[in-house]
A and B are shown apart, each in its own frame.
Chain A
Amino acid sequence: MMEKRFIVTSSPHLSSTSTTRHIMLDVIIALLPAGIAACVMFGWYSAVLIAVTVVSAVLFEYLFRIITKRENSIGDLSAVVTGLLLAYNLPPKFPIWMAVIGSFIAIVIVKQFFGGIGQNFANPAITARIVLMTSFPTAMTAWLTAYDGVSSATPLAMMKAGTVLTPDGPTILGALIGNVDTIGCIGEVSRLLLIAGGIYLMIRKVIVPIIPLCYIGTVGLLTWIAGADPVMQMLSGGLILGAFFMATDYATSPTNALGRVIFGVGCGILTVVIRLWSNLPEGVSYSILFMNILTPLIERATFPRPFGVPRKGKEVAKS
């Protein structure tokens, strides 16, 4: 009888059950409730917009991989996440054809041109939002109130213009769960659900809370020092959405704890500077994009020291 041969592999022979697809699925689960709430507030058109960006993002990724003769990658669901985030960054009545352009920019130009998942240097949804903002400024700032659909200015713009926030106007409760005066992009208005989604991601170990806490904390602290209303600042605009779901994007944020602190604080400082002292009412996307670009430098500066290597200038304890 011939001797039985066994399979030989290189250790480790165990692997965790987590996969890229599982991670992306968790992000989708965490994002969905806020999207559904937005559809309730802004109406069916928002649902259409979300569907269009998601489908077009997946389609663009699929076509790009076919045209460039690469392995199909839509199975990792990252294009779905990008599509969702893009829609969440658009005003409720944004024209469909412009949204499709946004998907193209996010998936093809920002993500695939640089090599696909994990290789992009900037967050695709944020970059697409900024491109749309500079290309279609009117459409990108056509704000409507929830439920009634009346045109209005965002709370941040009102605060900037010095409008006193009346009890009828934007309130903390309104900012958290959304009411008739809620105004903003599709995905940013149900902040309580976004925070719940963020906590879900932390429990599932998809994200660590360093970046969101440093980001939101810095915004709160600096606006308080500057004499603005810190709570309204933290609960306005795209900060919650950006801090939990976009600043934590793996590919474009640092991989070690110290780097993440620097990244979060940097985003916070930039956001406050833009909000309080620039011409723009909101600065979350620009701050994150700017810190995305700094990420390789932060990584280099905070590269971890191997275990047991003393800090520079410090003696080894006993040798």
Chain B
Amino acid sequence: MGFKGQIAALFGLEKGVHPPHYKNTAKCATVEMPAPERVVVSMLQHVGAPCVPTVAKGDSVAIGQVIGDSTAYVSAPIHSGVSGKVLGIGEIILPNGTRTATVEIENDGEGRIFEGVKPPHIHSKEDLVTAVRASGLVGLGGAGFPTHVKFALYKEDCIDTLVINGAECEPYITADNRECLENTWDIMNGIMIMAEHFNAKQTVIAVENNKPMAIAELTKVAKTCSTEGHRICVKSIPAQYPQGAEKMIIYSTTGRKVPPGKLPSDVGCVVMNITSTAFVSRYLKDGMPLVARRMTVDGNGVKNPGNLRVTIGTPIKDIVAFCGGYTSDANRIMMGGPMMGLTVYTDEQPVLKQNNAILVFAGAGGEKEPEQPCIRCGRCVGACPMHLAPFELYKAYLRGDAADLTKKGVMNCVECGCCSYICPAKRQLTQMMRLGKAYVKKQGGKR
């Protein structure tokens, strides 16, 4: 934190919070985890319309073969990460509560690669959009927004700045950090491809300053690639949650503010996760769709934490077993970081494309502390990156006042968790915000 940051913090003008970093696995090189005997591939691994299975029970599939697709625009195809036989089409409840179809595949261990897997031919920008869709790429930072939708923005010719999001502001997670260190050139190639595609004038690679090695590596390479017409700079941003949230990272890299209901493209930006960026360049080289990804496995509930490359659809229990198993009193599993991640009740849950971490925790800490009365300290107001007043919204929600909730901007909440984190009275403000948003939608529907 610089001097300006210190002053802002002293006067309570600093947005966001400072949870402990716990980047324990930052130095753990990626380990390839062998594909498990059985994968369960969810048909909804992105924001948008779920896919429909394109295979049936008994079909034989190979690595990289499409097993689910959708005709909807905002969607991304899903591929098999193993070769083997389809055991059946099932249904699961995703960690966020949605029910969706699954394709269950038994791994025959042969590792056959689908004959359709070959580098795509790119002759036009339209071809690139089609290729990105075919790769099944979604935002790998956690949101899971289908990347081809962003790539199609080139048509509007409104993008001047590419923001590469390597903030990784959630505690524990070091998956993007490893991408920076292990695949620096893939990232840079991805940036060149995208810069040309969008006709961008500049690219800002934003990395939180708690990853000095990643910043050093990226800066070295970025220097050699930066040109007059397209400047690439690496920006070290303060390690401050939720720095990696889309609107926040645009603000801290370009100073532009995305108004509510608007998109980054409305202020001339495209934000891409750093691992997604590297994936684009790899896909254009070898044509292997998104069937595996790196994720951080950490927490005091797992014996050997580390960074693994995991086949999409691997059940969590296999991942934990690969990492030496649970410690004796492991009782909580999170998909994603501790600020925004979702807990799951069973370790049968398969991992999804957008999962960047599996955290297992043991012992106490699972139970929420009892809520105490609000003392109006204003810390939630100070911390809210969206400039809301969570304690006021909480009161409005308790009153059941949908009009007041709307007026005070509940729909702008990004559910980052800062208000609940900072609250000294341990009030579950973020949780209430979720209820408040649902309540407003319901009330709005009635009218």
Q: Give chain A's interface residues, CB within 8 Å of chain B.
A: 3-16, 18-20, 22-23, 73, 76, 78, 115-119, 202, 205, 208-210, 250-251, 254-257, 303-310, 316-319
The reply to whether A256 and B343 form a contact with Cβ atoms under 8 Å apart is no
When chains A and B are docked, how far (Å) is the Cα of A23 from the Cα of B377?
Answer: 10
**Contacts A307-B385, A307-B386, A308-B247 given: A11-B422 contact, CB under 8 Å?**
no
When chains A and B are docked, how far (Å) is the Cα of A20 from the Cα of B376?
Answer: 11
Could you show 13 A-B contacts with beta carbons less than 8 Å apart?
Answer: A5-B345, A8-B344, A12-B417, A13-B338, A15-B369, A15-B421, A16-B19, A19-B424, A19-B425, A118-B375, A119-B373, A255-B378, A319-B266
Question: Which residue from A3, A7, A250, A254 sits with its C-beta under 8 Å from B375?
Answer: A250
The reply to whether B12 and A6 form a contact with Cβ atoms under 8 Å apart is no
Q: Which of A16, A116, A303, A317 has the most CB of B within 10 A?
A: A16
The reply to whether B247 and A209 form a contact with Cβ atoms under 8 Å apart is no
When chains A and B are docked, how far (Å) is the Cα of A303 from the Cα of B389?
Answer: 8
The reply to whether B11 and A257 form a contact with Cβ atoms under 8 Å apart is yes
Question: Which residue from A8, A20, A250 sits with its C-beta under 8 Å from B343?
Answer: A8
The reply to whether A307 and B10 form a contact with Cβ atoms under 8 Å apart is no
The reply to whether B346 and A6 form a contact with Cβ atoms under 8 Å apart is yes
Minimum distance in angstroms from B246 CB to a CB of chain A: 12
Which partner residue on chain B sits nearest A76 by CB separation?
A: B372
Q: Which residues from chain A contact B10 at a C-beta distance below 8 Å?
A: 202, 208-209
When chains A and B are docked, how far (Å) is the Cα of A142 from the Cα of B428?
Answer: 49
The reply to whether B426 and A19 form a contact with Cβ atoms under 8 Å apart is yes
Is B42's beta carbon under 8 Å from chain A? no
Question: Which residue from A6, A19, A76, A209 sits with its C-beta under 8 Å from B331?
Answer: A6
Q: Which residues from chain A contact B9 at a C-beta distance below 8 Å?
A: 205
When chains A and B are docked, how far (Å) is the Cα of A119 from the Cα of B423?
Answer: 17
Q: Which residues from chain A contact B193 at a C-beta distance below 8 Å?
A: none
Interface residues on B, range: 35 or more
**Contacts A119-B373, A257-B12 given: A305-B387 contact, CB under 8 Å?**
yes
When chains A and B are docked, how far (Å) is the Cα of A318 from the Cα of B158?
Answer: 10
Is B167's beta carbon under 8 Å from chain A? no
When chains A and B are docked, how far (Å) is the Cα of A118 from the Cα of B420?
Answer: 17
Which residues of chain B from 387 to 440 have a CB within 8 Å of any chain A CB?
Answer: 387-389, 391-392, 408-409, 412, 415, 417-418, 420-426, 428, 430-431, 434
Which residues of chain B from 327 to 353 have a CB within 8 Å of any chain A CB?
Answer: 331-334, 338-348
Which partner residue on chain A sits nearest B330 by CB separation?
A: A6
The reply to whether A20 and B372 form a contact with Cβ atoms under 8 Å apart is yes
**Contacts A15-B421, A208-B10 given: A307-B378 contact, CB under 8 Å?**
no
Number of A-B contacts (CB under 8 A): 171
Is B262's beta carbon under 8 Å from chain A? yes
The reply to whether A12 and B338 form a contact with Cβ atoms under 8 Å apart is yes
The reply to whether B332 and A7 form a contact with Cβ atoms under 8 Å apart is yes
Q: Which residues from chain B contact A256 at a C-beta distance below 8 Å?
A: 378, 381-382, 389
Minimum distance in angstroms from A84 CB to a CB of chain B: 17
**Contacts A257-B11, A308-B257 given: A13-B376 contact, CB under 8 Å?**
no
**Contacts A306-B412, A308-B257 given: A7-B376 contact, CB under 8 Å?**
no
**Contacts A12-B421, A116-B373 given: A308-B12 contact, CB under 8 Å?**
no
Minimum distance in angstroms from A316 CB to a CB of chain B: 5
Q: Which residues from chain B contact A73 at a C-beta distance below 8 Å?
A: 373
Minimum distance in angstroms from A253 CB to a CB of chain B: 8
The reply to whether A16 and B17 form a contact with Cβ atoms under 8 Å apart is yes
The reply to whether A11 and B430 form a contact with Cβ atoms under 8 Å apart is yes
**Contacts A4-B347, A209-B10 given: A307-B412 contact, CB under 8 Å?**
yes
When chains A and B are docked, how far (Å) is the Cα of A6 from the Cα of B331?
Answer: 5
When chains A and B are docked, how far (Å) is the Cα of A9 from the Cα of B420?
Answer: 13
The reply to whether B267 and A317 form a contact with Cβ atoms under 8 Å apart is yes
Q: Which residues from chain A contact B426 at a C-beta distance below 8 Å?
A: 15, 19
The reply to whether A117 and B346 form a contact with Cβ atoms under 8 Å apart is no
Q: Which residues from chain A contact B256 at a C-beta distance below 8 Å?
A: 317
Q: Which residues from chain B contact A308 at a C-beta distance below 8 Å?
A: 247, 257-260, 262
Question: Which residue from A3, A11, A76, A115 sits with its C-beta under 8 Å from B339?
Answer: A11
Q: Which residues from chain B contact A317 at a C-beta distance below 8 Å?
A: 256-257, 267
Is B28's beta carbon under 8 Å from chain A? no
Is B268's beta carbon under 8 Å from chain A? yes
Q: Which of A4, A19, A22, A306 has the most CB of B within 10 A?
A: A306
Which partner residue on chain A sits nearest B339 by CB separation?
A: A12
Is B446's beta carbon under 8 Å from chain A? no
Ranked nearest first, the 5 interchain pairs of A and B with the lowest CB-CB distance are: A12-B417, A255-B378, A208-B12, A7-B366, A308-B259
Q: Which residues from chain A contact B259 at a C-beta distance below 8 Å?
A: 308-310, 316, 319
Which partner residue on chain A sits nearest B20 by CB separation?
A: A14
Is B29's beta carbon under 8 Å from chain A? no
The reply to whether B387 and A304 form a contact with Cβ atoms under 8 Å apart is yes
When chains A and B are docked, how far (Å) is the Cα of A78 from the Cα of B391?
Answer: 20
The reply to whether B428 and A306 form a contact with Cβ atoms under 8 Å apart is no
Q: Which residues from chain A contact B408 at a C-beta distance below 8 Å?
A: 303
When chains A and B are docked, how far (Å) is the Cα of A78 from the Cα of B425?
Answer: 13
Minimum distance in angstroms from B235 CB to a CB of chain A: 20
Minimum distance in angstroms from B437 CB to a CB of chain A: 13
When chains A and B are docked, how far (Å) is the Cα of A310 from the Cα of B260?
Answer: 10
Q: Which residues from chain A contact B387 at a C-beta distance below 8 Å?
A: 304-307
When chains A and B are docked, how far (Å) is the Cα of A76 from the Cα of B371?
Answer: 13
Which partner residue on chain A sits nearest B385 by CB separation?
A: A307
The reply to whether A10 and B431 form a contact with Cβ atoms under 8 Å apart is yes
The reply to whether B424 and A18 form a contact with Cβ atoms under 8 Å apart is yes
The reply to whether B347 and A304 form a contact with Cβ atoms under 8 Å apart is no
Q: Which residues from chain A contact B17 at a C-beta distance below 8 Å?
A: 16
Minimum distance in angstroms from A243 CB to a CB of chain B: 15
Additional pairs, 13, CB under 8 Å, beyond known A7-B331, A117-B375: A11-B417, A12-B338, A12-B420, A13-B332, A13-B338, A118-B373, A209-B11, A256-B381, A257-B11, A303-B392, A303-B408, A306-B386, A318-B268
